Amino acid sequence: MEPSAALLAALADSDDEAAETNAEAAGSASHPLGFKVIREFIGAAEADRVVASIAASGLLDAGAGRNQAMRFGQLPAWLPGALSSGLQLAAHLPLTQAARAPLFDAIILNSYAPRTGITDHVDLLRFEDVVVGLSLVSACTMRFARASAAQLRQAAGGDVAPAAAPGEAPPAVRVRLNPGDLYILSGEARYEWTHGIAPEDSTEQRISITLRKLCPE
């Protein structure tokens, strides 16, 4: 499918934002290269609407132990338009990915009980570059660290990497995510760094939406 005219126009109009994005994507002591967070990507009212839509969809049901749902193909209609259309996102993405269509075709919903997180991992290589995550309901701290060889093998479809021995975990970069914040992982941040959330860094119930694009068969 060709990128839409609206998307191409958004890309053409986005020089200033792209410059800012490139500066941030250049990496620093506090961010892996290719990581970016867009604060308040959606506001509180829209976040409430999305959370209500997720509840109504029945995709997650903590009572029944359904804390994760994954869907492929058409993205749900209740996603914030800013996310599904890609128009507000385009300026923040590497050009090659910003112009692809569809931008994303896989969604994961995660619901976290208080004091549960997600193991440090690199997303599977069967997904293309650029993964975005929208954080909802409560704040958490996500941590990033250089991936070990075992974690890279796991991303390529190998065995689950063993947890680092106490005291042997690589130094982590920590980023606070508030409800409504969107983070973007591309390049090094997507392929060479792990991301995860320690249980103590997510103290209240939280929901996240992750969007990815499957690699062609």
Ligand X SMILES: O=C(O)CCC(=O)C(=O)O
What residues line the site for ligand X (CB under 6 A)? 108, 110, 118, 123, 133, 135, 195, 208, 210
The answer to whether the CB of 147 falls within 8 A of the CB of 155 is yes
The nearest distance, CB 53 to ligand X, in angstroms, is: 18
- Residues forming a β-bridge with 109: 69, 209
Taking CB atoms, the residue at the shortest distance from ligand X is: 208
**Smallest gap from residue 133 Cβ to ligand X (A):** 4
SS3 per residue for the chain: CCCCHHHHHHHHCCHHHHHHHHHHHCCECCECCCEEEECCCCCHHHHHHHHHHHHHHCCCEHHHCECEEEEECCCCCCCCHHHHCCCCCHHHCCHHHHCCCCCCCEEEEEEECCCCCEEEECCCCCECCCEEEEEECCCEEEEEEECCHHHHHHHCCCCCCCCCCCCCCCCCEEEEECCCCEEEECHHHHHCEEEEECHHHCCCCEEEEEEECECCC
For ligand X, the closer of residues 100 and 190 by Cβ is 190
Q: How far is the CB of 181 from ligand X (least distance, A)?
A: 10
Distances (CA, A) of 143 to 5, 37, 74, 116, 176: 37, 13, 30, 14, 9
Instruction: Report, in Å, the least distance between residue 1 CB and ligand X.
Output: 26
CB of 208 to ligand X, least distance (A): 3
Of 22 and 57, the one with the shorter C-beta distance to ligand X is 57
| Cβ 194 to ligand X shortest distance, Å | 9
Closest to ligand X by CB, 82 or 118: 118
Nearer to ligand X, 4 or 203 (CB): 203
4 or 138: whose CB is closer to ligand X?
Answer: 138
Rounded to whole angstroms, the maximal C-alpha distance in the chain is: 52
Nearer to ligand X, 135 or 151 (CB): 135
